Amino acid sequence: MHPRQSFGSRRSILAAATSAAVVALVVVPGGPARAATDLISNPSFDNGVVAPWYAYGVTASEVRSDAVQAEAFCADVPAGTTNPWDAAVQLDNVPAVNASGYELSFRARATTDVVITAGFQLGAPGYEPVAMGNPALTAAWQTFTLSGTSPKDGTGSLVFQAGGKAAAFTFCIDDVHLLSGVEPPQYVPDTGPRVRVNQVGYLPGGPKGATLVTDTTTPLPWQLRNASGAVVRSGLTGPRGVDPTSGQNVATIDFSSYARPGTGYTLTADGETSYPFDISDTAYQRLRRDSKTFFYTQRSGVAILDSLAPGYGRAAGHVGVAPNQGDTAVGCQQPVTWLDDWTCDPAFRTDVTGGWYDAGDHGKYVVNGGIATAQLLGEYERSLRVRHADRRALADRTLRIPEAGNKVPDILDEARWELAWMLKMQVPADTDVSGLTPYAGMAFLKVQDDSWTGLPLAPAADPKTRELHRPSTAATLNLAAVAAQAARLFAPYDRVFARTLLTAARTAYAAAKAHPAVYSPDADGNSGGGAYGDSNVDDEFYWAAAELYLTTGRAEYLADVHASPLATADVFNVNGFSWNTPGPLARMDLATVPSRLPQREREGIRRSVVAGADKVVALQAHQAYGQPYAPANGMWDWGSNSDLLNNLQVVATAYDLTHAAKYRRAVLTGVDYVFGRNALNHSYVTGYGTVSSQNQHSRMYAHQLDPSLPHPPAGSISGGPNSSIQDPVAQGRLAGCTGQFCYLDDIGSWSTNEVAINWNSALSWVSSFVADLRNGDGC
């Protein structure tokens, strides 16, 4: 997705924006064996001595006794603080040695069941975690042990951070020991049975493949069993050698010939039995809906109704109700330290309420909103032109949203929530603010907090100042493209809104042409939100011109399409497309949306889409796990699941154009990876499969940190493996990981496990395609 750095305050963990476990935390009956290298001078608070420990943000802290513990250091934590580091017990000036292993143990209890953040972190700006975790305290004393490795030399702090809780409570710690020079911990993920399948299910008439992790290099027998245990198919595996995306020796299993619908099937090979799976399209019909529920629960500026999203109800966020400063009257970022050519009057204010929270933070970004909205709109537009698509599945009353029943397709209603916000992000033509006047008609890049907040944090509890960031050409062209696309789709339902959208699109496009090189820099990501740096906007110009032409038919927009360097370029990359490379969206719409393009030109565009799909299919054929994604350099990208799904959108579009069976098979094989046929034996979609992502990085869906909060809603997809592992949680456990293994289902791993609107929009589009196939044997 988007590299986003997360730095907190002096007393925060690195990525205070994440504040989560770096290593496994284990409850043990007793502490580890003591050694002469124990770095804690006052571990048991004997004779009431607290120093050199101290507390801050608490109402009282002292050594106390109870019936079980003779003496312990206790702190009374007030209700209503915002971040974990707002109330803490701490010990500073603890030495840390680069590459040295550390083991921290302590006893702790609390007057109520509560999850806190605890551990050893470095003390200089950066505050890198060494051995951090999130112990779940109860009224009973427990012993916790954490371990980790220091990333550099320095001094650090032991921290027990307990702020950000709704109710007041007391917690106590005792017998705190930090051992240095221990063996660095080795992280070994639990990957379950060695037979890897699509844990959700296979379409009856579609391809059915699995992957076996094995040391054997010769064919092995396999059996397919039904729910009663009877063998219904058998055969031999196909050895594939070492898979470079995982480093595993593997073999493949093909049981496509079995097509009887049912539940509870398993595969057995090499003494291992897979997780159960179905042969049915039922789950994909459900996923078509669930993948869109995520957008409703991400809405900003409105209360989320528990009656519509049970377990996810919450107060409206960023509407100016204390402690929110709100999005009702937001000014420009002040000062703009990363720019020397733009200023904005500090008195300027505008209403930018609404829209979707982009991901795990509370920021809202036009460029990410652009691709996400375009994919929802494209999913609906596909249903209008593809003969075998189920239009009723995307009609009114198909989603649990407040607008259901208004005679407008619900997917358009959901897209409208973001579109209305994007219109607010356009600099008004009549602005009299000197710094903004030249940018009239352009779109602000984003609105976000002025600094990072911790987890968990409900949108309504966010106290930070909100800021608008300078307009950019990329954001402006996103608005132009998506507003133009939406204008033609809303015209049958709301002509006034459609005209407003088209006017905004034309204005934005003209403004972008007048300011073709106002780039968003990578430097704008050090506090409060992602940078979304993008200094190549050729693809955005191509996309905007294409959508304006398809909606209006006007010659000037077609001329700009033809003049684009992308017009004759291969816009399809087997590594996928994303928010900063939207050229494929333009090409696919030019190939599929009815227009007055000359027949020969349209055929050429269609051939280019098919050629792009062929590259993906050829890549996929070499993958033992069947995934349509495998970067040649071995470096899996941030949001690799989105890249993979976007590749499947290209292949699916080729199927819509040609009805060639190889493209249908490629899509169905590709989704197997997402739902568990992968090296980790893990479904990346919450609530789908035996083992699925549950702890994605999010301030709202933070059950891992606060059991009273929910996991992400069913149908939420995780970003997935990311070789660069930018967050310290992943760095502490995944150093040296290979491809598919660069993933943690941990709320702190924001570089591998975040949620995001443009990842769920890709899942939504592909789930509709798969659901439309129903039996899977052709349409």
Do residue 360 and residue 255 come from a single domain? no
**SS3 state of residue 365:** strand
Q: What is the DSSP string of 606-645?
A: HHHHHHHHHHHHHHHHT-TT--S---TTS-PPTTHHHHHH
The confidence band for 335, taking pLDDT boundaries of 50, 70 and 90, is confident
Do residue 391 and residue 444 come from a single domain? yes
Q: What is the pLDDT of residue 60?
A: 94
Is position 10 within any domain? Answer: no
Average pLDDT of the chain is 92
Q: Evaluate whether 3 touches 525 at the Cβ level (below 8 Å).
A: yes
Do residue 528 and residue 586 come from a single domain? yes
Q: At what angle do helices 599-621 and 583-592 cross, to 10 degrees?
A: 120
Do residue 249 and residue 304 come from a single domain? no
Rounded to an integer, what distance in angstroms lies between the CA atom of residue 439 and that of residue 760? 32
Give 718's DSSP letter: P
Residue 37 falls in which region: left (phi positive, over 0), alpha (psi -120 to 50) or beta: alpha
Catalytic residue among 361, 547, 643, 772: 361
- This prediction has a pTM of 0.92
Q: Evaluate whether 380 touches 485 at the Cβ level (below 8 Å).
A: no
Q: What is the pLDDT of residue 187?
A: 87
Is position 344 within any domain? Answer: yes
For residue 475, pLDDT over 50 is answered with yes
Q: Which two tokens stand for residue 374?
A: 């375009």
Q: What is the pLDDT of residue 19?
A: 32
Do residue 496 and residue 539 come from a single domain? yes
Do residue 366 and residue 448 come from a single domain? yes
Mean pLDDT of 168-185: 91
Is position 124 within any domain? Answer: yes
Supply φ then ψ for residue 462, to 5 degrees.
-75, 115
For residue 73, pLDDT over 50 is answered with yes
For 183, other C-beta atoms within 10 Å of its C-beta total: 9
For residue 490, pLDDT over 70 is answered with yes
Q: Is 515 a catalytic residue?
A: no
Q: What is the pLDDT of residue 7?
A: 25
Q: What is the pLDDT of residue 522?
A: 84
> Which amino acid, residue 78?
P
For 374, other C-beta atoms within 10 Å of its C-beta total: 26
The confidence band for 69, taking pLDDT boundaries of 50, 70 and 90, is confident
- Of 151, 182, 213, the one marking the end of a domain is 182
Catalytic residue among 413, 697, 711, 727: 697
Q: What is the pLDDT of residue 12?
A: 30
- Of 281, 303, 326, the one marking the end of a domain is 281
> Which amino acid, residue 673?
Y
For residue 488, pLDDT over 90 is answered with yes
Pairing of strands 331-332, 466-468: parallel
CATH number at residue 240: 2.60.40.10
Between 664 and 33, the more confident residue is 664
The proportion of the chain whose per-residue pLDDT surpasses 70, expressed as a percent, equals: 94
Give 675's DSSP letter: B
Q: What is the pLDDT of residue 432?
A: 82
Q: What is the pLDDT of residue 778?
A: 80
Q: What is the pLDDT of residue 717?
A: 98
Which residue, chain included where needed, has tokens 């027949």?
A: 599
Is position 485 within any domain? Answer: yes
Do residue 408 and residue 323 come from a single domain? yes
Q: What is the pLDDT of residue 10?
A: 24
- Of 182, 215, 239, the one marking the end of a domain is 182
pLDDT tens column, 241-296: 999 999 999 999 999 999 999 999 999 999 999 999 999 999 999 999 999 999 99
Q: Is 361 a catalytic residue?
A: yes
Is position 121 within any domain? Answer: yes
Q: Which of 163-167, 351-355, 422-426, 682-686 has the lowest mean pLDDT?
A: 163-167
For residue 8, pLDDT over 70 is answered with no
Q: Which of 4-18, 76-90, 108-122, 453-467 has the lowest mean pLDDT?
A: 4-18
User: Of 85, 77, 79, which Cα lies nearest the Cα of 18?
Assistant: 85
Q: Which two tokens stand for residue 390?
A: 């189920």
Do residue 379 and residue 307 come from a single domain? yes
Q: What is the pLDDT of residue 340?
A: 65
Query: Which whole-number Å values give the CA distances from 153 to 5, 7, 49, 96, 726, in the listed order?
Result: 22, 19, 29, 6, 20
Q: Which of 59-68, 217-226, 486-495 has the lowest mean pLDDT?
A: 59-68
Do residue 559 and residue 569 come from a single domain? yes
The confidence band for 338, taking pLDDT boundaries of 50, 70 and 90, is low
Pairing of strands 209-213, 195-196: antiparallel
Catalytic residue among 589, 614, 672, 754: 754
For residue 566, pLDDT over 50 is answered with yes
Is position 12 within any domain? Answer: no
Is position 584 within any domain? Answer: yes
The confidence band for 48, taking pLDDT boundaries of 50, 70 and 90, is confident
Rounded to an integer, what distance in angstroms lies between the CA atom of residue 128 and that of residue 122? 5
Q: Is 746 a catalytic residue?
A: no
Do residue 212 and residue 299 come from a single domain? no
Q: What is the pLDDT of residue 337?
A: 66
CATH number at residue 115: 2.60.120.260
Q: Which of 560-564, 581-585, 703-707 has the lowest mean pLDDT?
A: 703-707
Mean pLDDT of 448-473: 94
Domain count along the chain: 3
Q: What is the pLDDT of residue 5?
A: 32
For residue 16, pLDDT over 50 is answered with no
CATH number at residue 387: 1.50.10.10
Q: Which of 147-156, 196-205, 410-419, 643-652 has the lowest mean pLDDT?
A: 147-156
Mean pLDDT of 548-569: 98
Q: What is the pLDDT of residue 46?
A: 81
Do residue 174 and residue 45 come from a single domain? yes
Catalytic residue among 86, 745, 746, 772: 745
Q: What is the pLDDT of residue 779?
A: 64
Do residue 625 and residue 729 come from a single domain? yes
pLDDT tens column, 86-103: 999 999 999 999 988 899
pLDDT tens column, 388-437: 999 999 999 999 999 999 999 999 999 999 999 999 999 998 888 878 88
Task: Quote the domain boundaries for residue 269.
Answer: 195-281
Is position 499 within any domain? Answer: yes
Q: Is 754 a catalytic residue?
A: yes
For 739, other C-beta atoms within 10 Å of its C-beta total: 22
